Structure 1
Amino acid sequence: MIIVTGGAGFIGSNLIRGLNQRGETNILVVDNLTNGQKMHNLADLDIADYMDKAEFIAKIEAPGFFKDVRAVLHQGACSATTEWNGHYVMINNYDYSKRLLHACVANNSAFLYASSASVYGAGQSGFQVDRGCEQPINMYAYSKFQFDQYVRRVGGEIKSPVVGLRYFNVYGAREQHKGAMSSTIFHFNQQIINSGQVRLFEGCDGFGDGEQQRDFVYVDDVVDVNLWFLEHPEQCGIYNVGTGKAETFNVVAQAVIDWHGHGSIQYIPFPEHLKGSYQSYTQADISRLRHVGYEKKFSDVKDGVSRYLDHLNEGVK
């Protein structure tokens, strides 16, 4: 069996879709469906079972519970970068991950987990998977960073496959339930539909209006990387998952406008609550990923946005 935590979420449900496409259906989904809208992410997928997160956590150390588990794809987390309740974030993102790691190690199950590019903070030291580049600037980032550090510390004692994937700005299908945490592409699309204008932040951190840059990576590519490591259990470690190329928000907004065939950009004041905890520039260094043999080309913004909007607006255009 393969366990996907956060399986009703954005990346988790896309991973299940990818597994289904490869003929895998013996899948246990772990999630919290208090937000029942997330069921739409599972409705077209084939799984073996569903378990509530609280019940799953209570059973992690139970004898024999992981006996037939081939792998855990751990995507479940508090993903809000604006959440400052450190106790809540560390329990959900750090403690939970540690318990899962040890359960997998004890049963020789592969453990693939979602880290985050947020660990690099403002990115002033670069985006290599290296301690010297890591300086988280919000609580979410710190929880991801600290678990990466824990994996590094115990790594020498681990014989089973353990892989951490630092996702950059992921966008694509099945993210609509995330609300404010949905990708900018999702929000830009809604803004064009509702008002004909895309709203971008004015300049900050030395960047001009809308010129802040991120490494935007299409969710299908993220799925492909995960499943590649699942099929290559000889590989372990922490890796960046991005395109390796930063694009400005202006470029992304224009790609959305071009797809719709109309629209304009409006610049709005940079929010006070984000100052000091906002990444104005990210660009994945994917040399480690290439070095271990992952060769597939990543979708560029123009192609990825077009494919996503074709899906998101199916029947509209």
Structure 2
Amino acid sequence: MIVVTGAAGFIASCLVTRLNAANFNDVVVVDNFSVAKKMANLEGKKIKEYVDRNDFFDWLEKNYEEVEFIFHLGARTDTTEMNREVLDLLNLDYSKKVWNACCEYQIPLVYASSAATYGSGTLGYDDDENMIPLLQPLNPYGDSKNDFDKWALEQTAKPFFWTGLKFFNVYGPNEYHKGRMASVILHAYNAIEENGSFTLFKSHNPDYKDGEQMRDFVYVKDVVEVLFWLMNHRKNSGIYNLGSGQARTFLDLTFNTFTAMGKDINVDFRDTPEDIRDKYQYYTQANMDKLRSIGYDKSFHTLEEGIQDYVQNYLMTNSYY
């Protein structure tokens, strides 16, 4: 059996699809299944068992001998969440319990970290583990992810194979439930459909013009390919970046969304909300050399390719992956 936590969410549900496509059908999904808006992500997938996240460790104690691998992708992913108790409970303490269980039962583990750990990027975006204690995230969410990375590296007891992945700006199908935290592509698509235009945040940094803030946007299908590869690789434990390796502007993203929809480009700008303005990342770009160095050689979608596939094969057809 393969366990996927956070399974009704965005990336994890796409991973279940990828596992099924490779004939891994004994997938155990773990989540808070009371959140009905996420459940459409799992419809039609081959799933062995649904386990509530609060019952998972009792379940694992009874079934660990049958578990081949754990993908721990469940987390509180709202970057505007200010309640550190919630973040510590779900992102730090729960992850520690998963880690310790994998050590006890000798189960390999891949877990989700985040590019939010890099903060403003003043120390760069290299996944050098020696730099992790020095990173200064811009929000409590980033702190919670970096705190677990630091804790994991400090442990003398480790799963025989483990990997933490610093996800950059992931976009693609199955993010429909995420509301404000969904990718700008989804927000752009909905706005363009509704009124034929889209409004981006202004830049409040003199080094960047409006709309020229840059992020490393990575297509979810590329993310799950890396996850699947790591499950089969099971060597070179550690913490790795997972982005496209190429920063692009929000204008690039928006123009490509208009183009994929066959619509005329019409972009406006508004002030960045004050609650995120001083915690806003103006540039991110994953250094992908470390993952490449251990043998991952598949190419990633360009932004143009990823947006075209997402818009035309999922958003325009109301489809899930």
Q: Provide the TM-score with structure 2 as the length reference.
A: 0.94
In the alignment, structure 1 residue 113 sits paired with structure 2 residue 115: no
Name the residue aligned to 2:179. Answer: 179
Q: Secondary structure at the match of 1:266?
A: strand
Once the two structures are TM-superposed, the CA of residue 33 in structure 1 deviates from its matched residue by 2.1
In the alignment, structure 1 residue 148 sits paired with structure 2 residue 149: yes
The match for 2:308 among 303, 306, 309 is: 306
1:50-94: CA deviation from partner (whole Å, max 9, x where unpaired): 01111224555x4x4422211110110000000010011011000
Name the residue aligned to 2:27. Answer: 27
Name the residue aligned to 1:287. Answer: 289
Once the two structures are TM-superposed, the CA of residue 254 in structure 1 deviates from its matched residue by 0.3
Once the two structures are TM-superposed, the CA of residue 295 in structure 1 deviates from its matched residue by 0.7
CA distance in 2: counterparts of 1:49 and 1:19, whole angstroms: 15
Name the residue aligned to 2:41. Answer: 41
For structure 1, the residue ranges without an aligned partner over 5 or more in a row are: none
- Let me know the Cα RMSD of the aligned residues: 1.4
Counting aligned pairs with the same residue, the percent is 38
Name the residue aligned to 1:170. Answer: 170
Q: Secondary structure at the match of 2:187?
A: helix
In the alignment, structure 1 residue 257 sits paired with structure 2 residue 255: no
Counterpart residue type for residue 16 of structure 2: I
Whether the 8 Å CA contact 1:112–1:162 is kept in 2: the answer is yes
Whether the 8 Å CA contact 2:110–2:164 is kept in 1: the answer is yes
Once the two structures are TM-superposed, the CA of residue 315 in structure 1 deviates from its matched residue by 4.3
Q: Secondary structure at the match of 1:270?
A: coil
The residue correspondences of 1:1-317 to structure 2 (distance < 5 A) are 1-57=1-57, 59=59, 62=61, 64-130=62-128, 131=131, 134-154=135-155, 156-158=156-158, 160-206=160-206, 207-262=208-263, 263-315=265-317
For structure 2, the residue ranges without an aligned partner over 5 or more in a row are: none
CA distance in 1: counterparts of 2:81 and 2:37, whole angstroms: 21
Q: Provide the TM-score with structure 1 as the length reference.
A: 0.95
Once the two structures are TM-superposed, the CA of residue 265 in structure 1 deviates from its matched residue by 0.4
CA distance in 1: counterparts of 2:145 and 2:192, whole angstroms: 34
Once the two structures are TM-superposed, the CA of residue 13 in structure 1 deviates from its matched residue by 0.3
CA distance in 2: counterparts of 1:157 and 1:54, whole angstroms: 24
Counterpart residue type for residue 306 of structure 1: Q
> How many aligned residue pairs are there?
313
